[in-house]
Structure 1
Amino acid sequence: MQEREDALAEEEAGLDELAAPAPDDNPNEDDYYQHESLESARHRADVSPIKGERQTKSRLESSLTQVYIVSYLIFFSIFGVLARIGLQALTIYPGALVANTDLWANVGGSFIMGVLREDRLLFRRHWREHVQNAQKNAGSSPANSHRGLDTSDTPDQENIMDAARKSFTSARTGIPAYVGLSVGFCGSFTSFASICRDGFLAIANDINTAPISTKQAGVEFRTRPSGDSVMALLAVIILEVGLSIVALTCGAHSATFLARPAEKVPVLNLSRMLNPLIVVLAFGCWLGATLMTIFPTHDVWRGRVLFSIVFAPLGTLSRFQISVHLNKLVKSFPLGTFAANVLGCCVMGMSYDLQMSSAGSAILSCQILQGIIDGFCGALTTVSTWVLELDTLRLEHGYFYGACSIFAGVGCFTVVMGSVKWTTGFVAPTCSV
């Protein structure tokens, strides 16, 4: 199993959800902050030798694992989008403090990503195997490997645990459930495109605050100076990005804090039972939702959810493939995540334009466009991976990458949506009433 995980780790090294070091890369609380950058983690994976014969054998044996990974991505993308839509319904209420559509989802998904990157509980069976291998390679006795995260003050033991941690981080690519949770659920639960869309709407003074207003909305449009529009954009960016980064770190701290108590929980090997079950559930749920869209979907909530479920796996699988092939091209700039986020912004902007025009006058077309916005674009773009990359890249690279992503995303919406907003104007979509 170790050989298969190593081969998959090299083949899919572009997934930054798996390649990046943990946000809280200092579980022993040393005198100064020890943090490995994403670039150095990628370099270590690139120079790690894997024998050709073993790699060929592992790839032949990993075909079933690839099926499991795709199934987990489909399954968790569906539930990630459902969780985001459900959280919108809970957090958009009269008197709510902010009108940002997916603020709570972005914060929650980033928190879960932080937990997963530091986790030693959900996948402890794999973690202990890497501890045993590290002890074996170091020539020490694996008798105490059941202690899992327990470390001594000796340099040898610290080096063993550090080697096990790096090996376990690299090998997570071969664990279908971990790929499904991090790439599938967290990536679909969060939405980078919604941040950029809300940023443009803040510039255009068109954020809909009626659902959270405690007073009846008036019909009179209130203009404001351009400087106030800049402040509104900054408020959206600072609030969304800042809280997501804080949530990522808090999630990592929570996982580190719970690591030792979690060792008392018995280890269960559920993969043999869950993996085949997820294949049936994933494709069954996807097919079932697709068939249900054949029937009339005049109910706003039912139509929005069904079409979002249909389009969500397409967005997640597209982001997965884009990241696998493009992220490893430039170590200091995650090109795959950047391309997926920008592409999602463009598609969301065009869908929003169509929905706010005569094309969205029919309820069915309006619901399909809403499904593309919530399902495909929401799953194609991700905040959890993006803030993980910001946190683990070297400082100058992280700031450059973050600024380019924000400028490109908001710029796409400004061009695509602004050309309609400032010419013909928007009309209320049929499926919103």
Structure 2
Amino acid sequence: MPSAVFGLLARLGLDALATYPGQSIFPLAWVQAAGCFAMGGLLGLREPISEFYPELYIALTSGFCGSLTTFSSWQLDVFLAWSNKTTPGGYPRIWIYDIMDGLTRLLFTLAISLASLSFGYKITTETAPTLQRLVRKNKGPPSQLIHIIISTISVLIYALTIPMYFVLSPSFRTKATAALLFSFPGAFLRYFLSVRLNKLHATIPPGTLVANTLGCFLLAAFHVLERSSSGRISGTSCAILVGLSDGFCGCLTTVSTYAAELRTLPRWKAWRYGLLSIVLGQIAMVLVVGSAEWSEAVHESQTCTS
């Protein structure tokens, strides 16, 4: 619960920090790079962390890194670049530049994610033996009482997101507080799918694939609803839609786990899994966002406001 909350906050914060006039690179690149770097570092420390507190390793990898990175937003970003919809009205450019923009967002994100994962792993593998010796010198894993205290605090942290939605300024709802409400359900569903489905196939992790594909379809639907040309929606509905997009879909889908799985698979199997995930993500965007745009059911310039 707290890992999903803090992972989402880190994603929203990095995205806001990297969004400014004259930015050199699209903001999601920073998000994916940071999350994959953290995931790589944690993979290098898997043994000492799991020996000390297994739940902590799951919380940091599936919870924090999985919620910090987002596969669905990446796929939507790529589709909007290919269709010249990244800004209202689009850019005055020819079609070949649309293709280049889409490929830049697609290939650079994939490259920086895999590179950041390997970099983080390389750094922490050098320190893993030292941390393992420190763990073994101490008394061992936390006691049952510590487990109960940590679990209680974790539940309280997530429970606080409900009053925060109502107490804080309404202007924060589309920025963060609405998304916080849906962070844990999205992260938990992804973890549940991974535990249940990934063991069914060794070379194509079905759980991660289903989570990422489902998240892409849902994000595409929410994106269309936010920009419906049928009329303005209420502020509360807008906040909920943005919260579902950033919180539920953002935490349901992940690039850090996707990159970690690509790194461990044999080369041609990694290519197959990687391409299949991207193709399914783009199919979701074409079927939902593309069909709505071509039928003029949405306008990119008509974004709902809280």
Query: Residue by residue, what CA displacement relative to the aligned partner does 1:255-285 show, whole Å, maximum 9, x if unpaired?
Result: 0222355467575556336532332222212
- TM-score in terms of structure 1 length: 0.64
Report the counterpart of residue 315 of structure 1 in structure 2. 186
Contact 1:297 1:303 in 2 (8 A): no
Structure 1 residues without counterparts, runs of 5 or longer: 1-73, 128-173, 211-218
Indicate the SS of the match to 1:318: helix
CA distance in 2, matches of 1:264, 1:278: 24
Contact 2:82 2:98 in 1 (8 A): yes
Letter in 2 for 1:228: Y
**Judging changes above 3 Å, is the alpha-carbon distance between structure 1 residues 176 and 263 closer, same or farther for their aligned structure 2 residues?**
closer
Structure 1 stretch 242-251 or stretch 321-330: which is displaced more? 321-330
CA distance in 2, matches of 1:289, 1:204: 36
Query: Residue by residue, what CA displacement relative to the aligned partner does 1:285-316 show, whole Å, maximum 9, x if unpaired?
Result: 222212333458531x3443111111011001
CA distance in 2, matches of 1:252, 1:240: 18
Report the counterpart of residue 29 of structure 2 in structure 1. 103
Matched, 1:348 2:227: no
CA distance in 2, matches of 1:361, 1:204: 25
Structure 1 segments (4+ residues) deviating >4 Å: 260-270, 294-297
**Judging changes above 3 Å, is the alpha-carbon distance between structure 1 residues 240 and 221 closer, same or farther for their aligned structure 2 residues?**
closer
Matched, 1:417 2:296: no
Indicate the SS of the match to 2:200: coil
Matched, 1:117 2:43: yes
Contact 1:354 1:360 in 2 (8 A): no
Structure 2 residues without counterparts, runs of 5 or longer: none
- Pairwise CA distance, 1:368: 0.9
CA distance in 2, matches of 1:260, 1:284: 35
Report the counterpart of residue 68 of structure 2 in structure 1. 189
Count of residue correspondences: 300
CA distance in 2, matches of 1:303, 1:409: 25
CA distance in 1, matches of 2:67, 2:117: 16
Q: How does 1:276-291 map to 2 (within 5 A)?
A: 276-291=148-163
CA distance in 1, matches of 2:63, 2:118: 20
The counterpart of 2:101, out of the listed 228, 232, 249, is 232
**Judging changes above 3 Å, is the alpha-carbon distance between structure 1 residues 181 and 296 closer, same or farther for their aligned structure 2 residues?**
closer
Letter in 2 for 1:430: C
- Pairwise CA distance, 1:120: 6.3
- Pairwise CA distance, 1:374: 0.7
Q: How does 1:131-280 map to 2 (within 5 A)?
A: 175-208=54-87, 222-225=92-95, 227-260=96-129, 262=131, 268=138, 269=140, 271-272=142-143, 274-280=146-152
Alpha-carbon RMSD across the aligned residues, in angstroms, is 2.4
Q: How does 1:383-398 map to 2 (within 5 A)?
A: 383-398=255-270
Contact 1:359 1:365 in 2 (8 A): no
- Pairwise CA distance, 1:180: 0.6
CA distance in 2, matches of 1:423, 1:120: 49
Contact 1:78 1:312 in 2 (8 A): yes
Query: Residue by residue, what CA displacement relative to the aligned partner does 1:193-224 show, whole Å, maximum 9, x if unpaired?
Result: 1110111001110113x9xxxxxxxx785242
Q: How does 1:395-406 map to 2 (within 5 A)?
A: 395-406=267-278
Indicate the SS of the match to 1:207: coil
CA distance in 2, matches of 1:383, 1:182: 12
- Pairwise CA distance, 1:95: 1.9
- Pairwise CA distance, 1:229: 2.5
Contact 2:46 2:57 in 1 (8 A): no
Indicate the SS of the match to 2:41: helix
Point out the structure with the larger helix share.
Answer: 2
